[in-house]
A and B are shown apart, each in its own frame.
Chain A
Amino acid sequence: MLMAEESHITFRNITKTFPGVLALRNINLEIKHGQIHALLGENGAGKSTLMNILYGLYHQDSGEIFLDGEKYALNTPKNATAHGIGMIHQHFMLIPNFTILENIMLGQTSPKPPKLEKDYFRKEILKVSAKFGIEVDLDLLVEEVSVGMQQKVEILKALYKGAKLLILDEPTSVLTPQESQELFKMLHDLNNKGTTIIFISHKLNEVMQISDTISVLRDGEVVATLPKSQTSQEELSRLMVGRNVNNKYDKASEPIGEEIFRIDNISLHDPHNKGRFLLKDISIQISKGEIVGIAGVDQNGQEELAEIICALRAATFGNLYMCRHDVTNSTTRQLIELGLSFIPSDRRNQGLVMDFSIAENTILETHYQKPFTRGFSLQPQVISDYAEMIVKEYDVRTPSINVPVKNLSGGNQQKVIIGRELSRNTRFLLVMQPTMGLDVGAIEFVHQRLLKARQGGMAILMISTDLEEVRKLSDRILVMYEGKIIGQADSTTSIEKIGMMMAGFFQ
């Protein structure tokens, strides 16, 4: 140690429980002045919980926080702001139909009440913006600007309120790669001007790129705090999940079996513009024991195709066949009874009922069938046993099957869905974005389960915007662009070539 850097925030023995879940256990952590300090960990490791305690959204059950060496007892968001702590949440706290200026001055006391004094605020905000080199057009409506710009507004808002410590919760999860790089540059600039930054992430490469010090959290404990110079991605990844992560899969090549599902010349009109097609002449055949991957940039018709397959939307033209039966006009329930399983992209809104318990969520499609229902009544004991089985089999980390799924981390929520969908008599599985927002450990778990299902003879259609994922898992890759299948590839095709196709270039 050449010089003793001063501590900005110190956590001492912080413990926090949610009902039945120990979210944080005896956290001891020191954040030093003028550093970029990353909190790295899987979903549910406790990173956000710890920061929410600092910002005052939650309260610790026990333990203390010290700010600049002094005890910081009253943690409320208001007090946090007064003490120069600013937090940028994963989901922005902005009012879409207010201008950027109005959003930043919101909640500030006007110098001459009851007048708003917008011009005074404009001057003050511009001063801050010039000092930190953050350029925004104050007169644009928030809903008009890009997500990256909205994030800038959030940061400027926090700085304007006098933040000397910025907490960013998974800031890149909503950004494009270019926007992420801009953000990193901005954070470096801020840091050079003396702002301490706490950066919450589960992405190893980002953490390695941006931080000075990295603390790894696992299961509510700090497992290590390391200077960046003394660690590597491999070490961090091991610390994060507690074991080595496998990046390649052994795919036993199976003889491809009979056709299970066929999409035959499906087209879909744009309901708002009859001349335009959202989907055009899509034909895909999925056979027993194979994973067909659909790669493509988001919003190129994937969502619509999935909805048509699940009978949630009718195609304008074309037919669907399942096990050689025409199912074009079947209902969702009929398809499910024929052996369709669906893992949707938006698990919170499409896949789960967040207020229901795990047990209730495991019978979402099958609750009316035997053995879950006998006569007129649901069978609570049978349902509990079934849920226990899924929780055990799919390694859902939860104190009980009676916990509402909204209290689970994203990875565990996804495990509930996957367990439910794979525990049925499934012949054809449609998967969308199966690992979006999950951490390394959960991603590998999901991938292994999909490969196991394939081994078991399931026909799987996987739609994902994650090209790596599609390449790793699929036997065949189809590339979708503007509602059409514009090319075929397989796992040997280079990323660059598939990337070109995804961008609409093809031979």
Chain B
Amino acid sequence: MSETILSPGSQTSIKARFFVFARNNLGIISVLISLLAIVLALLIGAILIAIAGINPWEAYSFLLKGSFGNRYGFGETLTRFIPLLFASLSFSIAYKSGFFNVGAEGQIYIGAIGALLVGAYISNLPPVLHITLTLLAGFVFGALWAGIAGLLKIFLGSNELVNTMMLNYVAIFLVEYLIHGPLKDPHLFIYQSSPILSSARLPIILPKTPLHAGFLIALASIVIVFYILYRTPIGYQMRTVGANLRAAKYAGINIVGVTLVAIITTGGLAGLGGAVELMGAQFRMVAGFSPGYGYDGIGVAIMGRHNPVGIVLAALLFAIIRVGTGAMQRGAGVPFPLLSVIQGLIIIFVIASSYLISKLSETTIGGRA
């Protein structure tokens, strides 16, 4: 149709031409804008690094080398990617169902505790069974933790955003208590839990790197989550409830049942993320077990616009930033607070650019005909 509109002879302003071009190439332009946002954030970061008296070029070369310049760094980046992916899936599936779960952080901790109980204290199981049960425990514990906020919403109508957020603190301090008391490893002087047994550990899938089989579970999860959302009746109902609660009621959809499913899956996915992190990377519960994966997951989901490809790309970006800035600190001596500033800049720029993109698609595509 656009050919007839832009016939060669027609008088068309540059602006209008741009809009038509932008509309036809929205995908490419979105990617370009996002990349430009990252470059801009890095440029501002470079100025700050230079002010701190460090050669920005050298610092950034550590960022690249550290995150995917060598085999180990590459493996580490993908290992970081795993919990981020679980956390963002957890946020997205709830968001699509009209449930704002910002409690993935707490659910990760509690899911990991569930996995620890099964992984460290049940012995003499064959690895396949032990791993399965440990993963399951992580899912169930995460789901139960989210269920507290979920039941408060369903039966008392209280706001899940506040409750899931508050439960994060409860979970983190509960875990601290457990590793100082009942779950402390009696053989150690420092406060850590006992390690999970080797039969419950996930195998390394890329030798000489930390990358473990949780990566495959994460990739399978993203496929399953989006299959459920877009190809099953329950997923259709979840999306309907999230998009228009009244229409869902009028259509006879069981709101309470659907919301319960959403709560179980959102909490379960975060808990599964915690379990996988424990079983593949850390093996023991420690204070600060998750360096904010649950919160980063929200950013990943929003940046990835709740679609599978976007989430994978955004989770990769977050992982690269986290691993790469670590390398900048070790290699170039960039101070830690400055790293946080650069991480923050990248996230702010990319999320701001996503608003720019949606604004662009609104003006070029427009609303009602």
- Which of A108-116, A122-130, A352-360 is found at the contact surface with chain B? A352-360
Q: State A310–B362 Cα separation when bound (angstroms).
A: 37
User: What's the least CB distance linking B95 to chain A, in Å?
Assistant: 13
Query: Interface digits, B219-261 against A, CB 8 Å rule (1 contact, 0 not)?
Result: 0000000000001110011011001101111111110000000
Instruction: State which of B11-19, B146-154, B281-289 sits at the interface with chain A.
Output: B11-19
User: Do the beta carbons of B15 and A61 come within 8 Å of each other?
Assistant: no
Provide the A447-462 mask, 1 if CB < 8 A to any CB of B, else 0. Answer: 0000000000000000
Q: How many angstroms from the CA of A44 to the CA of B369 in the assembled complex?
A: 6
Q: B252 contacts which of A23, A63, A333 (Cβ < 8 Å)?
A: A333
B252 touches A59 (CB 8 A): no
Residues of B within 8 A of A376 (CB): 232
Q: Does B20 contact A (CB under 8 A)?
A: yes
Q: Does A342 contact B (CB under 8 A)?
A: yes
Measured in the bound complex, the distance between the Cα atoms of B233 and A376 in whole Å is: 7
Whether, in the assembled complex, B367 has its beta carbon less than 8 Å from a beta carbon of chain A, the answer is yes
Chain A residues with CB under 8 Å of B244's CB are 349, 352-355
Tell me if A407 counts as interface (CB < 8 A to partner B): yes
CB distance from A310 to the nearest CB of B (A): 7
Q: Which of the residues A22, A373, A406 comes within 8 Å of B368, measured between beta carbons?
A: A406
Are B232 and A61 neighbours in the complex by a CB distance under 8 Å? Answer: no
A61 engages B251 (CB within 8 Å): no
Asked if B165 is at the interface of the complex by the 8 Å CB criterion, the answer is no
**A320-369, CB < 8 A from B:** 331-336, 342, 344, 349-356, 360, 363-365, 367-368
Q: Could you tell me if B233 and A367 are in contact, using CB atoms closer than 8 angstroms? A: yes
| Given A73-B13, A364-B251, A365-B251, CB of A61 within 8 Å of CB of B240 | no
Find the B residue at minimum CB distance from A366: B251
Contacts of A406 in B (CB 8 A): 367-368
Highest count of chain A CB atoms <10 Å: which of B240, B244, B363: B244
- Say whether A356 contacts B246, CB under 8 Å: no
Q: B23 within 8 Å of A by Cβ?
A: yes
A400 shortest CB reach to chain B, Å: 12
- Given known contacts A58-B366, A61-B20, A344-B250, A373 and B233 CB-to-CB distance under 8 angstroms: yes
* Residues of the A chain whose Cβ atoms lie less than 8 Å from the Cβ of B368: 18, 48, 406-409
B51 at the interface (CB under 8 A from A): no
Among residues of A, the one whose C-beta sits closest to the C-beta of B23 is: A19
Residue in chain B with minimal CB distance to A23: B369
Q: Is the CB of A62 within 8 A of B236?
A: no
Contacts of B40 in A (CB 8 A): none
Q: Do B250 and A350 touch across chains, with their CB atoms under 8 A apart?
A: yes
Scan residues 1-22 of chain B and give those whose CB is less than 8 A from a CB of chain A: 1-2, 5-6, 10-13, 15-16, 19-20
Q: Are A353 and B247 in contact (CB under 8 A)?
A: yes
The interface residues of chain B lying within 8 Å CB-to-CB of A22 are 1
Q: Is the CB of A353 within 8 A of B243?
A: yes
Output the nearest chain B residue to A398 by Cβ-Cβ distance.
B369
- A59 pairs with B19, CB closer than 8 A: yes
CA distance A283 to B82 in the complex (A): 61
Chain B residues with CB under 8 A of A312: 249-250
Q: A44-B369, A62-B11, A406-B368 are in contact. Are A378 and B233 (CB under 8 A)?
A: yes
Closest residue of chain A to B364 (Cβ to Cβ) is A59
Q: Is B178 an interface residue (CB 8 A)?
A: no
Neighbouring A residues of B10 by C-beta, 8 Å:
13, 62
- Could you give 29 example pairs across A and B, Cβ below 8 Å? A15-B5, A17-B5, A18-B365, A46-B369, A48-B368, A61-B19, A61-B20, A62-B6, A64-B11, A73-B13, A332-B252, A333-B252, A352-B247, A353-B243, A353-B247, A354-B243, A354-B244, A356-B243, A364-B247, A364-B251, A365-B252, A367-B237, A368-B237, A377-B231, A378-B236, A380-B231, A407-B368, A407-B369, A409-B368
A-B pairs with lowest CB-CB distance, top 6: A333-B252, A332-B252, A368-B233, A364-B251, A21-B369, A353-B244
